[in-house]
């Protein structure tokens, strides 16, 4: 079909799909797709390939431009950030889509990467690094299933998860989004997460949320210092952020290494039923993934046989070239099907239509992309689904889900050191002193991608802090004294001290960090509390291993709690002996150094023995 035929007005005698007869609605999906595709104009097809951030869409835009997908980016929350507010927001866009000529439903997408974590009141589960430490596929599947119920209750259909990156350099700000540096473990847990979200083989089953493994391909293998500035991207700070050092950089490895380390999780996810995949900002040996025909079309769609659709990352095609027309043509021709255009979607629509008119993008490539998108929408049952009902909102932050999150926390903990069998602690100990900002701070406990894109400190969503969990766990007679900075009276000499150390919340390249050593304030805090107790337990809230070698002798017990989410009782379950520690390190824990010009060496490349190897964990 040529561009003019695609643009022509439909036969007025043909009814919209929403009003089509029951025979069509019960036909095989492939026939339903071809029937619908044959009735679509060029504008309708291009609209299906366009995904827009909800804050960029004025009322009526979804209907006018036939937008195929709407997303809430990190922090793209409704003004009324409650479960009911989310349901109202998503339903508004859904209703607009159904008012179009053909009534094609939208896909509403979110970054629900550790629970439906942008919704105040939702259950926030441990980030993937913690789930990786559990090494428990059944647990991961159950966590994903609970997350799916909370997402679906708000009228959202799609989450950009799981992240199946295989991080090879823990200085990367997205390390905590990866289950492990071990590709086999990532493949196993990633597949379990996909199965949990999609709740069985039939995507149309109740409670199913469409999974989207990310970021294809090699995002976890980029080289420090290869992130480029894109000065022509003036409406997105990610385009020129000087803090990005490895995120969105260049993966400089052979194809054999790319396949062995980074491709395995995608094959496993596709086998588990993944029907969408998000493509990476990063490059492979200098070629942007979004413009890499070999990776997207030859390898993924051809050799592997992926028949779902590919979605771009946030404004990612803009990085291909300063000429936006070239960005559009190269990405679509490479194999991109849906483009995340958070802001200027009209520019994308007009450029793609122009490219089709000029023959720079074949009409067959457009039909292929739209066919893939429609197929997934039919498989997900969007044409047959009713709107989400408010009764489903009771799933948000339910007691069952919080108990599951508590289980996930305790199974994620890795006991690094436990001299003199310091833990389990006695619940009847006379006095406990507790210090550290993070010990009573839900925001720090949850980390990035929580309420806001970067996360934020403070009382940002309901949950149980470490301080509250300790207070609940001990006997009525035990005195728990808390001081954020560890300034306790000179006459205090407690039997037990607990120090909670942390990284401040971050996400993506903002978290790229050359120095992974503890800061001076934390070291001094540790020393102050050490002088006020007989036994000292250190709990670390972090998105990756930190350099603790010099400080290790200062405490009897060290426990890696990662970014546990809202349910810190899982930590006290272990330190007070209700459950044994079972977690094992998903990443090598480095012994020393950190800076790119110092002695930090990405995993598997150095001669210096790690402080703790992958798989380590005292039980």
Among all residues, which ones are annotated catalytic?
313, 508
Q: Is 200 left (phi over 0), alpha (psi -120 to 50) or beta?
A: left
Are the C-beta atoms of 66 and 7 separated by less than 8 Å? no
Secondary structure of 190-241 as H, E, C letters: HHHHHHHHHCCCCCCCCCCCECCCEEECCHHHCCCCCCCCCCCCCCCHHHCC
Say if residue 240 is exposed, middle or buried (CB neighbours under 10 Å; 0-12, 13-18, 19+). middle
Q: How far apart are CA 103 and CA 113, in angstroms?
A: 30
Find the radius of gyration of the CA atoms of the chain: 25
Give the count of beta carbons closer than 10 Å to the beta carbon of residue 346: 14
Give me the sheet containing 287-288, strands edge to edge.
Answer: 250-251, 283-284, 287-288
DSSP for 23-73 reads: HHHTS-HHHHHHHHHHT--HHHHHHHTEEEEGGG--TTHHHHHT--EEEE-
CA distance 390 to 385: 15
- Taking the C-alpha atoms of residue 437 and residue 432, their distance in angstroms, rounded to an integer, is 16
Strand 158-159 with 250-251, pairing? unpaired
Tokens 């809430």 locate to 72
Instruction: Report how far residue 49's alpha carbon sits from residue 105's, in angstroms, rounded to the nearest whole number.
Output: 13
Q: What are phi and psi of 17, to 5 degrees?
A: -60, -35
- Quickly tell me which residue has 């992974």 as its tokens: 516
Q: Token digits for 153? A: 């209750």
Helix residue ranges, H only, 39-181: 42-48, 61-65, 83-98, 128-134, 137-153
The angle at the Cα of 241, spanning 237 to 243, to the nearest 5 degrees, equals 140
């Amino acid at each position: 079909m040529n561009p003019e035929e695609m643009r022509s007005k439909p036969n007025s005698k043909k009814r919209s799909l929403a009003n089509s007869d029951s025979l069509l609605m019960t036909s095989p999906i492939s026939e339903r797709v071809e029937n619908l595709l044959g009735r679509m104009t060029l504008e309708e097809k291009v609209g299906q390939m366009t995904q827009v951030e909800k804050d960029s869409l004025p009322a009526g835009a979804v209907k006018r431009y036939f937008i195929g997908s709407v997303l809430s980016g990190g922090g793209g929350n409704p003004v009324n950030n409650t479960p009911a507010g989310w349901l109202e927001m998503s339903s508004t866009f859904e209703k607009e889509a159904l008012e179009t000529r053909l009534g094609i439903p939208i896909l509403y997408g979110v970054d629900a990467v550790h629970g439906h974590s942008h919704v105040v009141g939702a259950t926030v589960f441990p980030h993937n690094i913690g789930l990786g430490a559990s090494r428990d596929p059944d647990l991961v599947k159950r966590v994903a299933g609970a997350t799916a119920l909370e997402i679906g209750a708000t009228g959202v259909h799609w989450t950009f998860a799981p992240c199946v990156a295989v991080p090879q350099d823990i200085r990367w700000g997205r390390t905590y989004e990866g289950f492990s540096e071990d590709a086999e473990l990532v493949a196993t847990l990633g597949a379990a997460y996909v199965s949990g979200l999609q709740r069985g083989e039939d995507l149309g089953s109740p409670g199913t949320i469409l999974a989207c493994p990310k970021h294809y391909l090699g995002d976890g293998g980029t080289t420090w210092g290869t992130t480029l500035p894109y000065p022509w991207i003036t409406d997105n700070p990610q385009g020129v952020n000087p803090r990005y050092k490895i995120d969105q950089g260049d993966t400089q490895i052979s194809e054999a290494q790319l396949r062995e380390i980074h491709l395995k999780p995608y094959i496993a996810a596709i086998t588990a039923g993944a029907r969408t995949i998000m493509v990476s900002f990063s490059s492979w040996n200098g070629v942007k993934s979004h413009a890499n025909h070999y990776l997207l079309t030859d390898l993924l769609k051809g050799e592997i046989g992926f028949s779902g659709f590919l979605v771009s990352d946030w404004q990612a095609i803009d990085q291909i070239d300063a000429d936006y027309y070239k960005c559009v043509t190269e990405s679509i021709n490479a194999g991109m099907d849906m483009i995340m255009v958070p802001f200027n979607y009209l520019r994308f629509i007009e450029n793609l239509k122009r490219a089709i008119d000029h023959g720079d993008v074949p009409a067959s490539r457009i039909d292929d992309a739209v066919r893939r998108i429609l197929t997934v929408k039919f498989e997900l049952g969007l044409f047959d689904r009713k709107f989400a009902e408010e009764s489903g909102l009771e799933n948000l932050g339910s007691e069952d889900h919080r108990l599951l999150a508590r289980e996930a926390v305790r199974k994620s903990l890795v006991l690094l050191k436990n001299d003199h069998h310091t833990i389990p602690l006695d619940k009847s100990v006379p006095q406990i002193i507790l210090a550290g900002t993070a010990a009573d701070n839900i925001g720090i406990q949850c980390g990035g991608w929580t309420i806001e894109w970067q996360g934020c400190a403070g009382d940002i969503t309901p949950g149980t802090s470490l301080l509250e969990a300790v207070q609940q766990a001990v006997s009525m007679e035990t005195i728990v004294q808390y001081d954020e900075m560890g300034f306790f009276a000179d006459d205090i000499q407690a039997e037990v001290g607990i120090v909670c150390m942390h990284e401040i919340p971050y996400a993506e390249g903002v978290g790229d960090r050359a120095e992974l050593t503890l800061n001076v304030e934390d070291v001094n805090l540790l020393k102050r509390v050490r002088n006020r107790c007989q036994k000292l337990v250190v709990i670390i809230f972090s998105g990756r291993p930190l350099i603790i070698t010099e400080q290790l002798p200062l405490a009897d017990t060290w426990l890696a709690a990662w970014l546990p989410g809202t349910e810190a009782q899982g930590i006290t379950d272990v330190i007070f002996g209700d459950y044994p520690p079972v977690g094992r390190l998903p990443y090598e824990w480095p012994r020393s150094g950190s800076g790119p010009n110092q002695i930090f060496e990405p995993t598997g490349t150095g001669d210096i023995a790690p402080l703790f190897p992958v798989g380590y964990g005292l039980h």
